[in-house]
Structure 1
């Protein structure tokens, strides 16, 4: 898209994303939160994009740990393991760091399913943003309370597929502190309406993996495990 429409910039891509999201809402979908992507060095290096982006999570793409997905429901699916936040109160942007932290009531491990409308993952930041930052599904694990002493940087996350180690990372891999991803969203996209109950993905701790049939299981040093069956 960006090569065919060189006049488009990132702000125009976010307007395209908004138009598409509004179409979905008018068709009956509900906004359930937001994803922030490209927040780890591993993902930025994999995609060749060196700044974060964001997209909308719709309720019909949100599922709980233990869910089953079919690969044929997607075009070119990939999977990431993330730290997710649940907001306990509305959050208006731009917000300072302490306000962002105070708005988080719970956190959990999560998988994000990525997919692309372009037929290739060789895409630019503009193309990613216009395609809702590739957000095609979110699977959340059991939640823990997020309090003043909670430090998501210390989460050490390990991922297995069919019992085989496939990836690992830590909370520090997400901008040095996963809370900074939410802080970034309130600053870069202050027009985004963050509501109590929203799920916000902070970004993957590892490079994305092809989503293939099997059982995925992720554990962390503090957060309960999240698992997914793919057929």
Structure 2
């Protein structure tokens, strides 16, 4: 099937279909959607974000490892806009019913202290941000989505954004570039370890994912504004989100991230 550039009317129609699935929490069949190019996918995502009509909280970055890019036949990461109401502080209680088919990933979240520019170096980005340990909860408006969902639908569906739970923020410049590559995490559910991973899985260094995002957003005259969060990509392959007490433990002095999922 050949990728195509969608018309304005086609973008509008698909964005409204996705919004309806989001609002009513009724999953869509991915096989009923056409294939389309990256520009069309991001156009659908931008319209979907507008339809939600709520404050933007920031972005999530997906496909930041060679393994996940291969799973989705991608050659670079992709991003999704995330609502402010979907970023939570550690210790939160969440209802399973707020999700459709959620997963669990472990990441770092950078928060802009001032507007980020595509021309910022890695070192300048560290001066302009805080960093926090986080657990991201990807979710999707398509049924049976992982890992079968095509890349263009991942992009259209706001990079399968669900929620992000983050811990204590510290100045990113408290770390060296080298230290950001060495952070290790262990993920637990009801005190049973279910996964572990390391920050080098994220493009070699999570700050490189943030740099990629600033450059990608600039292509459509977008920026990361002061106060917005960026979840930069998973340390590990995702596991299913189920009810229970979840905790991610980090080294390098980062706080633990804890949350409960109720039935």
Q: TM-score, normalised by structure 2?
A: 0.80
1:94-105 maps to which residues of 2 (within 5 A)? 94-104=119-129
Residue deviations 1:111-146 (CA, integer Å, cap 9, x gap): 111111111211111110000001111111111222
Seen in structure 2, the aligned counterparts of structure 1 residues 47 and 159 have a Cα distance that, compared at 3 Å, is farther
Cross-structure match for 1:177: 205
Distance 1:4 1:219 in 2: 39
2:214–2:223 CA contact under 8 A, matched in 1 = no
- Measured after TM superposition, the shift of residue 59 of structure 1 is 1.1
1:40–1:206 CA contact under 8 A, matched in 2 = no
Structure 2, gaps ≥5 residues long? 1-29
Cross-structure match for 1:12: 40
Which stretches of structure 1, 4 residues or more, deviate above 6 A after TM superposition? none
Count of residues paired in the alignment: 226
Residue deviations 1:45-81 (CA, integer Å, cap 9, x gap): 5555453110112111111101111212211111111
Structure with greater strand share of residues: 1
Structure 1, gaps ≥5 residues long? none
Distance 2:89 2:173 in 1: 23
1:108–1:144 CA contact under 8 A, matched in 2 = yes
* Structure 1 counterpart of 2:255, from 221, 224, 230: 224
- Measured after TM superposition, the shift of residue 24 of structure 1 is 1.6
Q: Name which structure has the greater RCO, CA cutoff 8 Å, separation 6+.
A: 1
Distance 2:235 2:227 in 1: 23
1:65–1:139 CA contact under 8 A, matched in 2 = yes
Cross-structure match for 1:138: 164
The alignment's C-alpha RMSD in Å is 1.9
2:217–2:223 CA contact under 8 A, matched in 1 = no
Distance 1:111 1:4 in 2: 30
* Structure 2 counterpart of 1:115, from 139, 146, 151: 139
- Measured after TM superposition, the shift of residue 220 of structure 1 is 0.9
Cross-structure match for 1:40: 65
- Measured after TM superposition, the shift of residue 187 of structure 1 is 1.8
